[in-house]
Structure formats: structure tokens, C-alpha cells
A and B are shown apart, each in its own frame.
Chain A
């Protein structure tokens, strides 16, 4: 009986060992199966990346400089924007103003309270991009970024400074439908601040250029300029005028209306975009 108990115990041990061994085996197999699955996925990634590169190269080849030029010569006839199509400051923009209606009184223009903002608006850094450091990498970097952070100042003061610049102000886009519903107070919240529209049009330059082409979206531009003004809590009446003005002169002003070099470097990353667009207009 003793012997049989001993024997039973050793058989039990062996069985346990076997079960453990089998479990280890199963685990190892599973691990390995997973590993080969990862490997397969990697191979798939490689082939997809290669395919992506292939397609990317094909697009680049089809849209190469010479091809674009050919299309432009035959189909589009875009030319480089002339000096008259660029605005360097708000005064130039305001100069396009029309009275609100026939026989309407001249709008009352009040002086700006914030000296820094006013000074910058009055004496824009005309050749800031040129006179400063030869900061040639900035536009390149800007075109890669989403340019969204620049349009998202942390607080109102910062925002006021940022929007003192005409280019930055024009760059603020509010979606058409939303703009109508927005109350001035409401536009102060973070939602409309970043100029992100529902349809994902974030890049201001692009939007403006599109608008300029057919001139149908003037209202959106006017509204956005207005909203931006309200947000900045600055010049009030003049802002409205300028805004409505922007609408009336949108077709004339764009493309490449934002003067890329004139925006103070570092303040906004956007200037590169209109420049790129201008580039497209004359490949």
C-alpha cells in the first residue's frame, strides 16, 4: 500500500510536469504565432509604405513643374499677383470702404486704446521678414505645420496683439453658418477662436485664395474679419467698416492678400501659405 502511494505520488508529479511542459509549449507556440503575425504585419506595412511612395511619386510626377506650367499656359492662365493685390495694413483695407447705404453718415472712427496694438497697426513692420534675421527657414517650417497653434492665442491680450496684424486677422476664419449664429460674446469662447471650421478648412491662405477665385464667399471673409475684430475687443466701428469692406473688395484683394513678409516673424506661422498659393497661381 505504501509502495502504491509512493508510486501514485511520483506519477502525479510526472503528470504535473507534463501538464506544465504542455502549457509552456502552448504558450511558446502562441507567442511565436503572434510574433510571426507581427512579422507579417511589418511586411504588410513595408509593402504599403512602398505603395504609398509609389503613388506619391506618381502624383508628384504628374504634377511636376513643367506639367503645371503647361496646364497654366493652356487652361488656367494664372499670373503672379501684382503689388496692388497685397495689403500691408488696415488703412489700406479701410480705404476700400463704401458707405453702408446711400446718404448714410460717415462712420465714427475712434482712437484705439491699446498703444501697442495701435502702434503696430499704424506702423506695421513693413519689411519685418526682410529686415530681421535672414529667417528663410520660417516659411518652410510654417508650411509643414498645421499653423493652428499660431491662431490659438492663450488669452485675450495675446490674441489682441496677434490680431493686430492684418494678415493674422484676415486669417481668422469662421464657418459661414456658424458666423451668422454667433453672438459677439459667444465668439470669445475657445470654440471659434482657433478658426477651425467644420469642414476642416484650417489653413487660412487656402481659404482666401479659394474665395478670391469666384468671389462668392465674400460674406464668410467679412464675417470672419468681423468676428476677429470683436474678439480683439478693438476699434469697434472701424472694424465693422473694414470688415464689410473686406467683403466688397475680396475679389480684388486676393489671392495672396496676406502679405507674407509683413507679418511679424514668430507671431504667426501662416504667411507661408498665401505665398505658396501665389506660387501655384504661377507655376
Chain B
């Protein structure tokens, strides 16, 4: 019993021991297995990762070369491919108060010292504003656009809080050149004023923005125009100036300037009165520059057939109103003389013979009763004289017809006048003005306003005005300039103001085959020594054209030739001599 008990006890102990051993073994094997699984898993993971890295590394979000080079906003160039506006990563000046850590002053020097140094680098900066920003302790832009050399100077101040992030912004390498045509882009990236606004969708469209958009402008001619207009404006202390150069055949705007101008690179300052475009948005009574249009209309209608016919030039009474000339030109003048001396009275007589319907029809055909046709968003509506009948749509009164004949009682933009002069000299076809570069084979459809013979006659007459008449100062040797002066008094309270003039010169060259129309206008020029004490267009606007044409002619493919001119020999004998407006 005892032995049995003992043996049973031993047996039980052995079994238990065996069980324990078994259990320990299983545990050890399990652990080894786990370790192995871990190792295998790690190896597999490493292999998979190696394979993944080796085989499929940068397939996700691989950008193509073209995409990487695509600008954020398309480039605008002139007709020769010179960049006028481009997306450009330029430096800006950013104040980061946390650059030196959150505790302590953000700047090494005092804000006043830093602001003073910054004003030394950027003379147009506002000292008080800079001090306020630097003291506020808030991160902000101190300046949106900084030149690299200025950035270096700021860096030399040794202020870690002044940073220069490079950001893609709109940049105009030519500065204020053609600012009114281009417009500007605000800080939110939206285009304003000019073609930036018009072309907004195209410039932002990924399909298009890679290719630059060519405008019809020629930057060289634009520069010359702005330059000469600015000089004319300075010499005459004028309030403003406007000018446009138009391709007489295609209607392309080669240059368009409105002074004073603005700098589109400073979009923060750009939105002010200066963005107002005098060429396409402001309407003026352009005065005597309308006379050739009236004469063309009369020749076209067969009212003026013989240019030798003389008309009375003594003051012309119409009811309570008297039409008179600036000077006394004797008792009678023929049409060439009337244009050369700029006689209102003779034009009134011609218009009276022509009649209101014909003159009105011509003006309408020249687009004088609607906004100018151009892509710019700001286009002024002309002051179109009211006619009789219902809604003022009937024929003009007799007096209205007469005043319109010499450019009063009707106010249009200088661009209207440019398009009209293009039609006047190019053989009689009116074409809408455009700012896009036009393929000569695909001109915009025009409409015939004058017969070709009328246009040829007008070319002679316009040339005569420059050779013998009021436009003599515009006669650039060899360029066969033709044109007409216009000096219109500005309307004020209680009638026209004698000393506030709009002086215009409307020209085309070369007159034997007109290629370009040039309109130059000065707003309220003063009588100065530079203009021999005169304030009329013959003394201030005409000389601008005389200086401008030799500069732009050769660039635009017009070669001066002193031995070549439009033949005016059949008209020369009809002209006496005298002075006009």
C-alpha cells in the first residue's frame, strides 16, 4: 500500500515534471517561431520596400517639364515679341517678428532706426507707416516688390526679422510704358483697367498661358510717343496729354498713351485717377480736326466738285448765333484755303450746302455715335448732338450741322478721330481699331465710308495744310506728313472758356501711301516761351508730331525720302497765304 502509494506519488511527480518540460519546450518553440516570423516579416518588408523604391519610386506626381515651366499668368508682349507683362518671381520684403524667437524684441535695432534705414533704401516709402508696422509685432509685408540690389542693401542692415520671400508676381519690365493699355494686376491676382482685365481668362487658362499674347503695340513707337508727349506736356504746362498711332490699313493700334500715367508695378498705388484713359474713355470737342471729314463728306456727296469755288468768309449770322473765324481772312476763301487757314465760316457754308442727313450719315459711318471700337474695357460714349423728331433721332438742326462741320457740339474720343482719319486717308475704308496683332491676310471687315477718289483728294489737302498751312511745324522732312490742327475751347460754366483749350493734331504719313495715323492731343496747354506765347495746336501739338514722326517712321518701315511727295501741284495755285488757327 505504502509502496504503491509511494510509486504512485513518484509516477505523478514524473508525469508532472514531463508536463512541465513539455510546456517549457512548447513555449520555447513558440518563442523561436515568433522570433522567426518577426525576422521573416522584417525581411519581407525590407524586400518589398526595396522593390517598391526601386521599381515605382517617383511615378506619383511626376510633373512634366512644360507644366513646371508654365507661368502662373500668361505673358503679354508687343508686336515684336518684347515682353510687356510677365509672371515673375520677384523678392518681397516681409517682416517676421518671430525670427529672433518669441521672447524679446523682434528687431536688433530700434524700429525707428530700421525704418529710417529702409526709407534710405526706398525713398518713396512712408516712414511713419514703417515704424507703425515694425512696432506692431505682427508679421506683414513691408513692400511687395524689391529689386535684388535693394534686397542686398536691406540684408546688409543685419536684421533677421526682415525676410525676402520670392513670390510669383506680375511684373512689367518696361515700367509705366503703355500702362493704360496693359492695366495692372492687383494683389489678389485679378487684372484691372487694360488688357490684363480683357485677357483675364486667356492669361489664366492652362491651355493658353504658356504662349505669350502679342498685342499690336510696338514698344519702340510707344516709348517715342510717350516721350514726345511728355516733353510737349512739360513745355506747355498742360494738364494732360493723349496720343495714339494707328495703322491706317489694318486698324492696329501701334501706340496708345495717356499722360500723366501710372506705374503698374506698384499695384498698391495704381488705383487712382491716373488710370483714366484719355484716349479711349474721355470725350472732347476736337474742333477743327473735323473739318477734313466734313470736306470729304461734301466731295463724296458731289456738293464740292470744284475746289476753286469761293465761299464767303465774313462772320455768318444764324439767328442769335454768329459763326466767326479766329482771324480775318478776307471776304472769301475756297476749300483748300479754308482748310489751310482753318475757317469755320466756310465750313459752315459747305455743311449748309451739304445738308444735315449727309453729314450725319458720314459721322455715323465713322462710328462717331457709339463707343469707340477697341478691346479696352473703358470706352467713353460720345456726346452726340440731338436731332429733331422723336427721341432726338431725326435730322440735326441747321445750326447743329454747321457747328458739327467744324467739330463743335459733338464730343468724341481721340480714338474715334484716329479711326476716322485712317478711313479718310487709306482709300475710304473704316476699320475698327484693335489692340491685337492682326495678320495682314485676315483684316477685320471694314466698311466703305468715302470713295477712293475722295480719299486721294483729302490726302492732297491734308498734305497742303502741313506744307502751307497751320500744320507747318509737323512737317518732318522726307516723311510726307499730312494733317490738321484743332484748337477747341473747353466748355465751362456760362459758355466756352477762352483760355482752356484742347489742342489736337491729327496726322497721317507718308501721304503718298498713308501707313500710319498719328493723333496728338494736349489738354489745356498754356502759352509758354517754348510755344512762342501761343496756346493753339499749331504751336504745341503740331511740333510734337514733327518730332515724333522722324523717330518712329524708320522703325515702322517708312523711309524718309526728300525727293518723293504726294502731288499737290493742281491745288497749289488755288492757295494764297495767311494764318489760321
A140 to B79, CA, bound (A): 8
Interface residue A106 (Cβ < 8 Å from any Cβ of B): no
Closest Cβ of chain B to A221, distance in Å, is 20
Most buried by A among B86, B249, B550: B550
Chain B 49-70 near chain A by CB (<8 Å), digits 1 or 0: 0010011011000100100110
Compute how far the CA of A274 lies from the CA of B559 in the bound complex, rounded to whole angstroms: 11
- With A82-B560, A143-B80 as contacts: A32 and B551 at CB distance below 8 Å: no
**Interchain CB contact under 8 A, A46 and B69:** yes
A60-B83, A82-B478, A140-B79 known; A134+B555 contact, CB < 8 A: no
Given contacts A133-B440, A134-B249, whether A46 and B560 have CB atoms under 8 Å apart is: no
Asked if A256 contacts B554 (CB within 8 A), the reply is yes
A130, B223: Cβ atoms closer than 8 Å:
no
Number of A-B contacts (CB under 8 A): 150
Chain A's closest residue to B555 (CB) is: A279
For B82, the chain A residues whose CB sits under 8 A away are 60
Residues of the A chain whose Cβ atoms lie less than 8 Å from the Cβ of B542: none
Interface of chain B residues 77 through 101 with chain A (CB within 8 A): 79-83, 86, 88-89
Cβ–Cβ contact A64 & B173, under 8 A:
yes
Cβ contacts under 8 Å, A19 to chain B: none
A54 within 8 A of B: yes
Q: Please report the C-alpha to C-alpha distance between residue A65 and residue B230 in the assembled complex, in whole angstroms.
A: 14
Residue in A35, A58, A126, A260 whose beta carbon sits within 8 Å of that of B557 in the complex: A260
Q: How far is the CA of A134 from the CA of B559 in the complex (A)?
A: 15
Contacts of B479 in A (CB 8 A): 83
- Neighbouring B residues of A103 by C-beta, 8 Å: none
Which residue of B has the minimal Cβ distance to A278?
B554
Known: A60-B173, A133-B440. Contact between A32 and B57, CB under 8 A?
yes
Q: Looking at the complex, which one of A86, A130, A260, A278 makes contact with B510 (CB distance below 8 Å)?
A: A130
* Cβ contact within 8 Å between B562 and A66: no
Q: Which residues of B contact A137 (CB under 8 A)?
A: 439-440
Residues of B within 8 A of A66 (CB): 174-177, 223
Which residue from B80, B176, B557 sits with its C-beta under 8 Å from A261? Answer: B557
- A residues 59-83 with Cβ under 8 Å of B? 60-61, 64-66, 68-69, 80-83
Complex interface: chain A residues within 8 A of B515 (CB): 130, 134
Given the known interface contacts A64-B173, A130-B558, A275-B555, the answer about A57 and B83 at a Cβ–Cβ threshold of 8 Å is yes
Residue among A131, A140, A282 making CB contact with B551, cutoff 8 Å: A282
Number of interface residues of B (CB under 8 A): 58
B250's partner among A25, A45, A136 (CB-CB below 8 A) is A136
| B-chain residues with CB within 8 Å of residue A28 when the two chains form the complex | 54-55
Decide yes or no whether A271 CB sits under 8 A from chain B.
yes
| CB–CB A130/B173 < 8 A | no
Give the chain B neighbours of A39 by CB distance below 8 A.
58, 62
A22 interface residue, CB < 8 Å from B?
no
Q: Report whether B65 and A42 are in contact in the complex, using a CB–CB cutoff of 8 Å.
A: yes
Which residue among A36, A50, A143 has the maximum number of chain B CB atoms within 10 Å of its CB? A50
Residues of chain B contacted by A60 (CB below 8 angstroms): 82-83, 173-174
Q: Is the CB of B88 within 8 A of A53?
A: yes
Q: Which residue of B lies closest to A282 (CB)?
A: B551
Q: A262 near B: Cβ within 8 Å?
A: yes
**Distance from B186 Cβ to chain A, minimum over Cβ atoms (Å):** 21
Q: In the bound complex, what is the Cα–Cα distance between A282 and B81 (angstroms)?
A: 20
| A275 to B560 Cα, complex, angstroms | 12
Say which residue of A80, A82, A136 sits within 8 Å of B247 (CB atoms): A136
7 sampled A-B residue pairs with Cβ under 8 A:
A46-B69, A54-B88, A57-B86, A57-B88, A81-B554, A81-B560, A136-B252
Given A46-B69, A259-B559, A275-B554, 18 new contacts (CB under 8 A): A28-B55, A36-B58, A39-B58, A42-B65, A60-B174, A64-B173, A65-B223, A68-B223, A69-B227, A83-B562, A129-B557, A130-B512, A256-B554, A261-B559, A275-B556, A278-B554, A279-B554, A282-B224
3 nearest CB pairs, A to B: A83-B478, A65-B223, A83-B560
